[in-house]
Chain A
Amino acid sequence: MKSKSLAKWLISGPPLLYLLLFFAIPSLIMAFAAFRFPGDYGGLMPLTTANPDTGATELLINFGNWRDFLTLENFQRFFDEPIYFELFVKSFWYAGLTTVICIVLAYPLAWLIARSPRKTRDLLVLLVILPFWSNFLIRVYAWMIILGPQSYFSRALNSVLAVFGVEPVSLLFSQFAVIVGLVYVHLPFMVLPLYANLEKHDMALLDAAQDLGANAWQRFWKVTWPLSLPGVWAGTALVFIPALGMFAIPDLLGGTNSMMIGNLIKQQYLDSRDWPFGSVLSIMLTFTVLLLAALAAWAGSRGKDKR
């Protein structure tokens, strides 16, 4: 018994320690930072100082003066200025749209892979993850070229539009370009969990559904789709959450009006050096995502009870 629990700790200990050191503790530091004042030259207002005589570190904050060091002002600012809320809404919209487009594109692809002969299947999966072998930024730069005004793609598109008397469009530096980039980067994360799910489906169920009078459309919506929901949810989590925090793609492909929360957070930390407000934004983002996940789980369990 004893040695068994020891073995358990030996196995799960290192990853737990890793998560504690590099995830839990930084998150707590960030959460605490949200309640502090920015420093005079950015960063955080210090809570400690070096004693000029001894050089020893001394705590400045104490039970009498903590109000000079801790504040709710950062949160106040978030809720007072509607622009931040609007940015949240827009980011959720981008991430949501990206997720939906990824589902629509990934589903047929995942189905095709899952129904291919064993050998082809492995090759196709390899092709799906192939883009990961080249650097993320290089792939986004490639999109800058593809969508740029001088690209064959843009020129072909605009000459077609000209036939219909439509003004030439500029693809790059637009919301369109941001969505294209987000979908492109996240698509494999939707394909893989969907494939893993669809591959396990029992084809006899589709035969049974057809035998019992279901046409192709009904077979999909009554059998395949509900059984694939775990895969859809896994893919959604893998696409929606990273897409929500993405800043590189709006930076590179977006225009002035396609900023996302990620850009704002990055701006606060790196450009304005307002760490407390950056922390507030990060916390609000995490909080909203958790709230949504809880709501989804609750709705899911309620739906199950009803059945």
Chain B
Amino acid sequence: MALLEIRDVVKTFGDFTAVNHVSLAVEAGEFFTLLGPSGCGKTTLLRMLAGFEQPDSGEILLDGKNMAGVPPEKRPVHTVFQSYALFPHMTVAQNIAFPLKMAGVASAEIPKRVDEVLEDVRLQQFARRYPHELSGGQRQRVAIARALVNRPRLLLLDEPLSALDAKLREQMQIELINLQKEVGITFVYVTHDQGEALALSHRIAVMSQGQVEQLDAPETIYSYPKSRFVADFIGQCNLLDATITEVQPGRMKVEIEGVGTAEALPVAGAQVGGKGTLTLRPEKIKLGATLPQGNADEVHFKGRVHDCLYLGDVTIYIVELDNGTLVETMLPNSGSGKAKFFDDNDLVELAWRFDAGHFVLA
């Protein structure tokens, strides 16, 4: 049985539907992420898990128990708030002792438990400081320690790293992964940052306008997006409008509008005449002045370099196909000592393996 089960949950504010028939299950010990653009209903869903909002319809089950009517203070669920919400009048140790006191843990045992969790987040020497005497990253760790200390069944994290700068965020991501492995508590993590979601999660639910668009492991989401929205939202992706012209076992042909025919992996429900989008990651496209022809597994096109973006480790080349469609490709700047292989207006050839392009039906 799943630790957390969300069954067909709906939440509306006035006539606006913030969460629209969401169903999903989270297994014990999982690092589960809700990913989606701002305003797609992530926080609302999280607040329903914590008990601050009640679903209009549908059920939330924790350990098989229906949580309807259970107030937040009675749920074995703790939240790490985006603003941290540390108690400013309490020291770090007092903040962390708070949930233990509320749970009625014997006062003799509290200091030991606080020390343990302070060690987990490497803040032992800050126990007697007040929140305003800490850096952003340290406050973040206190908030996590406070939410973890009495071992909730579920830890909810609402964009916990969004207030930190990029460098610190990366470091905290690694710490979060390690911490979650160490304590073995189930994390439900909310973010609008796709990179963060890919790096941290066991599974990701991509949300859009209150609905779950796709629920899969990070690799699957990245390589096999189920919709144009997911492909576009996760990472960089070329989205080429196309129509299915031929379906065979193991292979199908699509006509990319105004460009030509390309082969692709067949998708469920594919029919001749079906319209959709061929999604193609820049790093899966080969680029060269001339590329060897005749490989039956490869799709081939010619184009002209439209723009170059030098990023240091890689250079991004935007290639214009014959009909004006722009395709993004990239080449690593490793090896040769060259910074750039092509310049604007150079004639180039593109190729990709037929199974690198993933077709999604409209």
Contact = CB atoms under 8 A, between A and B. Distances in A.
Interface of A: 202, 204-205, 207-215, 218, 222-223, 226-227, 307
Majority SS at the chain A contact face: helix
A208 B102 contact: no
B60 to A, nearest CB: 15
B85 A214 contact: no
Given A202-B85, A214-B73, A208 B91 contact: no
B94 A211 contact: no
Given A211-B73, A212-B146, A307-B91, A205 B85 contact: yes
A229 to B, nearest CB: 9
Contacts of A202: 83, 85
- Which 9 A-B pairs rank lowest in CB-CB distance, beginning with the nearest? A213-B102, A208-B85, A212-B99, A204-B85, A211-B79, A210-B72, A226-B89, A213-B73, A214-B102
A211 B72 contact: yes
B94 A213 contact: no
14 contacts: A202-B85, A204-B81, A205-B87, A208-B79, A208-B87, A211-B50, A211-B147, A212-B98, A213-B102, A213-B103, A215-B73, A223-B87, A227-B88, A307-B91
B310 interface: no
B228 interface: no
A202 B146 CA distance: 18
B192 interface: no
A210 B86 CA distance: 13
Interface in B40-61: 50, 52
A212 B81 contact: no
B153 interface: no
Nearest to B128: A307
A102 to B, nearest CB: 23
Interface residues of B, number: 26
Given A202-B85, A307-B91, A212 B78 contact: yes
B81 A208 contact: yes
Contacts of B52: 207, 210-211
Nearest to A229: B89
Indicate the member of B50, B86, B99 with the most A CB atoms within 10 Å: B99
A291 to B, nearest CB: 27
A218 B102 contact: yes
A210 B98 contact: no
Contacts of B89: 226-227
A149 to B, nearest CB: 50
B99 A213 contact: yes
Nearest to B156: A211
A24 to B, nearest CB: 37
Contacts of A227: 88-89
Contacts of B72: 207, 210-211
Contacts of B90: 307
Given A204-B83, A218-B102, A307-B94, A211 B88 contact: no
Contacts of B79: 207-208, 211
Interface in B6-56: 50, 52
A130 to B, nearest CB: 34
A120 B146 CA distance: 37
A227 B130 CA distance: 14
A178 to B, nearest CB: 36
A214 B101 CA distance: 9
A210 B73 contact: yes
Given A208-B79, A211-B72, A212-B147, A222 B85 contact: no
A56 B98 CA distance: 77
A206 to B, nearest CB: 9
Nearest to B77: A211
Given A205-B87, A208-B81, A211-B77, 5 more contacts: A205-B88, A208-B85, A212-B102, A213-B73, A213-B150
